Structures are given as C-alpha cells and as structure tokens.
Chains A and B, each alone.
Chain A
Amino acid sequence: MPKWGMVIDLETCTGCQACTTACAMENNRLPGENWQDVLFYSEGEYPNLNLSWLPRPCMQCENPSCVSVCPTKATYKDEGTGIVLVDWNKCIGCKYCMVACPYGVRFYMDEAPAVEPDVRAEFPASGRRSWNPPFKMPDEYEDASKGIGIQPKGVVSKCTFCYHKVSQAPAGVADLDEDNPETKEFTPACVRVCAPKSRFFGDLDNPDSHVNALIAEKGGVRLKEETGNKPQVYYLSGGGSPAVPGNRSRRS
C-alpha cells in the first residue's frame, strides 16, 4: 500500500499558478475555489521588498485534524493510498473540518461566487448537483463517496491528490512522474503541468522513491509542524531552512 506524498521545490517554483488552473479544470472547481492555491506574500519596504509565494495543495496529513473532527466520518483517510477524502454521501455540511484544518484547504459549495456572474447559474443543474459544466470530467471518474466530480450543494470538498488518476497507478510504483510515459496519466494534475518541475509525487513508504530522496537530500520541511498533523506534502526551500521539526511530528 503506497502512502502518496508530494514534494514542492520552492527554489524553482515560479508562482505561475498552472497547478491551480490545471487542478481547477481537472476537478471541475468553481472559479477561485481552489483545492490547490498559490499564496503570495510581500514584506519589506521599497526598494527592498520580499515577494514570496507558496503553492498549497491539501497536506494529506498523517494525523489529519479534519478527519478526527468530522462527526460522521465523511472525511476519512483512505487506507489504500494515504489520501484524505470526503464522502459526499455522508457529509452534513457542518464545516467543522474547515474550521479544524490548519492549512485552510477545504471548500464549502454554498458560498457566494468569487467571480460574477455565477457560473453555477450559467451551467445550471437540478437537485443537489450544484452545476453542470459542459467540460465536466468523464462520468467514470465521478465518485461521490470519494469527493470526486461536481461538488454537490451543502457539502465540503478538498484536494483528492487526483485520486481518480493516482489510484489507477500500477502496484508498487515508487514515483508518479509526468515525464515517465508509464506514469504520466496517473500523475496528479498539479504535478503533471508544473513547467519548472517543482513538484514531485511518490510513495513516502517506499524507501527508494525519488520523493524520499529529495526530502532527505534537500532537507524537506513540512508546514506548521507544531500542529502535529504530519503533512505528507514536503517543501524544499533551497537547502537551509530554519524550520525545526517538532519532537512529536518527527518522521517515523
């Protein structure tokens, strides 16, 4: 059983947001409601301004706080992949998982549109189906029990690490690399499009995986170690990083 993880190299990331838009289209996200977002920060005074950015998918935590707060087990850690998923058939839309996620990566459907006019009205659907874009993913991919497809009204969604792709990968593969023809189609959308190749996807439980090598060699760090959530997404910062792993969140 793989434990899929991601490595994001901030040294080469150009902040272009291709990960964001590729994810948005692959997963039929509403405009601006991004499972995968690139966050920008600026600090300092002219002319010495530090503009920085951070691509932020779901961290797919080992100890996800969203899972433990969900009153119906609608959010769960998929055992076969190590991916945190939402069962839309069980989600009651209480949004506790959104409150409890330290990384702000969960999305409720019934919110005002980020961009007007509302595309949900432009591509209307009936019942609990929230909208019906003509570019919707293939029917075969949709799986409400895993939170894949058109997000229904009244439920919460999140990044699935492109479960519908990743879960098709041949057993035992260490890395899902978009440059390898054998694994291209199984690579998550955000990783596949990344032009500077700042994203890597592989099995954290496989000692020979490239992601593990990168984490070890380039000093991969995780966000908000103090939460103990133990993300399965690691960041490379170009070598030196002042982040110190917390005792309880050290990789086991």
Chain B
Amino acid sequence: MAMMTDTAPTSGHDTQGRGSHFLLHLIVALVLLALGGGYALTEILEFGKVQFNTNNAGIHWGMAIVTYDYFLLTSTGLAMVASLWHVFGMAEFAPIARRALWLAMAGLVGGVAVLFLELGAPLTALWATPLNMQFASPLFWKVLLVGAYAISLAIVLFGMINKPDAGRNPLMILVGGLALAVTLVAGLVYGMMAMRPVWFGGEIPVVFLIESFVGALAFTMFFSHLKNGFNHSNMRPDTRALFEGTLARMFAIAIALHFILHAGRAITGLWSNAEGMQVWGYMTAQPLFHIALWGCVALPFVLMVLPGTRSNGMMQIVAAALVMIGLLISRYEFIIGGQMVPMFKGTWAPELLSYSPSTGEWALLVLAVGLANTVYAFGAWKLGAEDRA
C-alpha cells in the first residue's frame, strides 16, 4: 500500500494531458465502432447472416468466433495479469493492474458483442443455457463462467471508479479464478472434440492459457505505451522498472512457451497420418502461418530476449503489436483449420474447405476493436481507468 502512495503522480499535468489524449482515443474508437458496427448491423438486418462466408459444408465457425475467442481470451489473460498484484501481491505489477482490468472489461465487451451478433438466437441463449443444465457441454460451462466473470469483473471495476488509490481487492481472487476457468474451458471447447484432430488434445486448455497470458502481456505493454504517448521516457519510474525488468522477461518467457506449443503442435500435426491432420500440411504451406510463427512469435521473442532491445520502448511496442497480430492469426488458423477437412461430404465439397472472412465478418472485427477501445477510452476519460500509473 505504501508503494502506491509513494509514487503518487504529478496529477495536474497528467490530468490535463489525459483528458485530450483519451478523448481523441474515444473518438477514434467510436469511429471504428460506427464503421464496423454500422456495416455489420446493416448487413445482418438487411440480408441476414447468409452473407457470412461460413457454410454447411464444414466451416461452421468463422471470423466472428475467432474474434470472440480472441477478445475473450485477451480479457481473461488481462484479468490474470491484474491478479499478479491483486491476488499474489506482486507489487511490481500494481502499476498496470488497473489498466489491465479495464482492458479486460473492454475486451470482454468487444468479444461478447460479436458473439451475440454471430449467434442465431442470442436472446434464447440468455435463458435457455442456465435453465437447462447441460453439464456435459463445455459451452454450457463457458457461458456460465463468462457470465460470472463478467459480473465479478464489473463489480471490481465499479468499485474502482474514480478511486485512484484502491489497493488489492480480495474480490479479484474470484475474478482471477474465473478468468482462469474461462480460459481453460474455452480450450476444452476445442480440445474435447475427438472428431476434429487438429483441435483434439488435453494440451489445448494449456495452449489457450499460455496464449491468453502472452496476449495479455502484449496488450498491457501496448496500451501502457499508448497511454504514455508511445514515449518510453514518459513512463513513471516504477512502471518503467517493471517494463524494463520483470514484465519484459515474463513476456519473453511467455512467448517462448507459446512458440514451443505452437511449433510443437505443428510438427506433431505434420508428422501424423491421422485423417484431419492434413490441414497442418496445408497451413504450413501458407505464408500466413509463417508470418504468424516467425514474424509474430519468433521475432518478438528475439526482441524480448536480447538485452538491448528488451528494454527499448519502441522495440517493446513492436514486439507487443506483433504478438497481438500473431495471436489473432494463430486463433484464426486454429479455429478454421480444425474445420477444413469436410466430414462426409464426398464430391460435394473439395478435399479441403476454403474460407476467408466476408466483408461483414471483417466488419465484426472492426466492431470489436472499436467497441473495446470505446470502453477502455471512456473508462480512461471519465471513469479513472488510467488514474494510476
């Protein structure tokens, strides 16, 4: 607690700069929201989701689900990062905990909004899921857990509004625990599917956990720099110490784990003869895979391992941005790849299904980005999301 008061900022200057800074962010976010949301909603209301490039041949979950899971896992990862301080008392992380929690809420709102636009009957989901108790379905648990996570996170954030010096919040044990559970169950949704070899496996929840965490670190890094106008020297000393020390190292280690799991699954997939695994051969032949693996995982890892670049603010921004993009590509390849081998379609479908997002599906991503940033920027502008650090 002492540390927090110790490092109280020069609030006058900061508040002044913050106002215009976050308002600009909010405006940009609202523009994105209007563009993405406007296009997506118009299309859905005018034509329905028939405009999406998903199909009954086998690509059932498309870009919308990719976006949803990406934002959801980013959110849970951020909650876990915040838990480093709130739950485990790692004081080093105190300067970023508040931001991480606001970002967690932002990501959650963006992701869930897309899910609601993707679902065929979202309103039915609200009552039919809790009332029917299908314990066997990971999605049942996911819905329940996401709901509890959202509520508990909201309560925590509500308590923080315009209270810059709030300390460790015991409720964060619940938030962190739910974030962990959501992340693992999100992995189970795919990992339990024995009929889809690309997805199947007990390691998938762990993969999701690592990806969620590495993503959260990247987002934390990126938005912390953003908050400071992408100027390293604007950072307060404690934050800066975290960024040049533990956070960067932790980021490097998380990227490494992510690389190992990603490459390991690719190698296993390429080696395996099992029906369905041919997707790995296809995916590894695409530039996208290598952009994601080498450009968005290996390169950031190198940047974060070499001492010269690790503590360089610009390099951190680059590494964070690359990881953020890389994770989206990986999530996309994972979700689409698992569905590319058509099941019992014969000549009616090609040997491997192809998919690329429609304009409307891209618009949903824009919507999610815009909405999440709106939440964050509004929080920062009016609700004190950035009152600390």
Task: Tell me the A residues contacting B by CB distance below 8 Å.
Answer: 33, 37-42, 53-54, 56, 65, 67-74, 89-96, 98-105, 107-113, 118, 153-156, 223-224, 227
Contact = CB atoms under 8 A, between A and B. Distances in A.
Contacts of B342: 104
Interface of B: 48-52, 54-56, 58, 60-61, 119-122, 124-125, 128-129, 131-134, 136-140, 142-143, 189, 193-196, 339, 342-348
A148 B344 CA distance: 23
Contacts of A103: 343-344
Contact of A69 (B138, B339, B346): B138
17 contacts: A39-B346, A39-B347, A41-B346, A42-B347, A69-B137, A72-B124, A95-B61, A98-B60, A101-B343, A102-B343, A103-B344, A105-B344, A111-B52, A112-B50, A154-B119, A154-B120, A227-B194
Given A71-B125, A108-B56, A110-B49, 16 more contacts: A37-B348, A39-B348, A42-B347, A53-B346, A54-B346, A71-B140, A71-B143, A72-B132, A73-B128, A93-B119, A93-B120, A96-B137, A100-B195, A101-B343, A104-B345, A110-B48
A40 B346 contact: yes
Contacts of A71: 125, 128-129, 132, 134, 137, 139-140, 142-143
B125 A99 contact: no
Nearest to B338: A99
Contacts of A33: 56
Contacts of B143: 71
A126 to B, nearest CB: 13
The secondary structure that dominates the B interface is loop
Given A70-B134, A73-B134, A111-B50, A91 B348 contact: no
Contacts of A91: 120-121, 124
Select the residue from B50, B60, B122, B348 with max chain A CB neighbours within 10 A: B60
Contacts of A155: 120-121
B384 to A, nearest CB: 36
A113 B139 contact: no
Nearest to A88: B121
B188 to A, nearest CB: 11
A230 to B, nearest CB: 14
A53 B346 CA distance: 8
A107 B339 CA distance: 15
Nearest to A67: B136
A39 B345 contact: yes
Contacts of A89: 124
Contacts of A93: 119-121
Select the residue from A72, A90, A101 with max chain B CB neighbours within 10 A: A72
Given A39-B347, A100-B195, A111-B55, A154 B138 contact: no
B343 A153 contact: no
A180 to B, nearest CB: 31
A118 B381 CA distance: 48
A36 to B, nearest CB: 12
A112 B137 contact: no
A108 B64 CA distance: 16
Contacts of A110: 48-50, 52, 120
A99 to B, nearest CB: 5
B55 A70 contact: no
Given A39-B344, A96-B139, A108 B134 contact: no
A72 B140 CA distance: 7
Nearest to A128: B121
A103 B348 CA distance: 14
Contact of A99 (B49, B133, B196): B196
Contact of A90 (B52, B119, B132, B138): B132
Contact of B120 (A42, A104, A108): A108
B343 A104 contact: yes
A72 B130 CA distance: 8
A112 B139 contact: no
Nearest to B53: A112
Contacts of A100: 193, 195
A92 B195 contact: no
A32 to B, nearest CB: 8
B56 A92 contact: no
Nearest to B190: A99
B137 A92 contact: no
Q: Which 5 A-B pairs have the closest CB atoms?
A: A93-B120, A39-B346, A154-B120, A104-B343, A102-B195
B16 to A, nearest CB: 47
Nearest to A59: B344
Given A69-B137, A101-B195, A110-B50, A92 B119 contact: yes
A154 B189 CA distance: 21
A228 to B, nearest CB: 8
Contacts of A94: 119-120, 125, 139
Contacts of B61: 95, 99
Given A101-B195, A111-B50, A74 B346 contact: no
A93 B56 CA distance: 13
A107 B347 contact: no
Nearest to B135: A68
A56 to B, nearest CB: 5
Select the residue from B121, B138, B189, B195 with max chain A CB neighbours within 10 A: B121
Contacts of A69: 136-139
A124 B52 CA distance: 20
Contacts of B122: 92
Select the residue from B122, B128, B131 with max chain A CB neighbours within 10 A: B128
Nearest to B128: A72
